[in-house]
A and B are shown apart, each in its own frame.
Chain A
Amino acid sequence: MDRALITQELQPIFAKVFRNPEIEITDTLNAEQVSGWDSLTHLSMIADVESHFQIKFKLKELIGMKNVGDMIDLIIAKKGVS
């Protein structure tokens, strides 16, 4: 499991939460670029990511996330993969 695989596994989660099957996951993707990414859908996405990867984000980690790349960095750190 590496960065590319995590990106691949995030795609169906984002597609479901933001109701966009074609959504393209990149490191720089953030809420401003995605229609329907508001505070509520953001929290659904976080819950689904935590459930899928069997991890828990800390509050400071959630607050520090600026884009998908930051989230992938955290998943890698928590799963111990590179």
Chain B
Amino acid sequence: MIIRQAETKDLDFIIDCIIESEKSGGDIFPYSEAFGISVLQFSQIIKGIFDEEIADQPWCLDHWYVVESEEGDAVAGLSAWVEGVEGVSSDMLKAQILNFFLKKEWEAATEKLQVLSSVSIPRIPQYLQLEHLYTHPLHRGKGYMKALIHYALELYKDFPAEIQVLEINKNAVSLYGYIGFLVSERQCNDALERLSLLSGNCKLQLIKNHG
């Protein structure tokens, strides 16, 4: 198994990681539901966002690490960055980026975005953030994601770490718990599932401190 920093050639797989991790194992893709755009349209927008090379938020190639299969393909990936190093939260950066790229759709999405933000948990400044963790289904059960998380934790060993995940994604929650992450906050809103905005109603913040 080779773990390495992502390269431009991995971008299609990275986009798969973003889309599939946002679905959290379900069928609902929140960005399609909120903005009324297709997954294909979202993929094109994400490519445009990666072209901007905006650091300190998950959609930046410099923050991505992948596991490479024996065939040389990226088969597991995650985004890792330290929150708020420049004094601005990654959620704020992401909102500005999305608003810029989806100006026309943003206004119509405002009510849905407010519901989505009701379970938003502020990320902790100076914590390593792990986001969009995803392994291709054909390569699951091989310990790739566990190895990738340990790789990121070692790379950023001076920082405590945080992961946010939907509670309904039991396999992911279980893996993070096995690695030593503990639930630090839980936010729920019954409207999320009812309005088909997320695959589950509750979001968890998990943290792993040193030691």
Contacts and interface: CB of A to CB of B under 8 A. Distances in A.
B62 interface: no
Given A63-B54, A63-B93, A39 B87 contact: no
Contact of A63 (B89, B96, B114, B120): B96
B83 to A, nearest CB: 13
| Secondary structure dominating the interface of B | helix
Contacts of B52: 59-60
Given A30-B87, A31-B89, A31-B92, A39 B117 contact: yes
B114 A59 contact: no
Nearest to A30: B87
25 contacts: A31-B88, A31-B92, A38-B92, A38-B120, A39-B91, A39-B92, A39-B95, A39-B96, A39-B117, A40-B95, A40-B117, A42-B92, A43-B96, A43-B99, A43-B106, A59-B54, A59-B100, A62-B96, A63-B54, A63-B88, A63-B93, A63-B97, A65-B88, A66-B86, A66-B88
A59 B106 contact: no
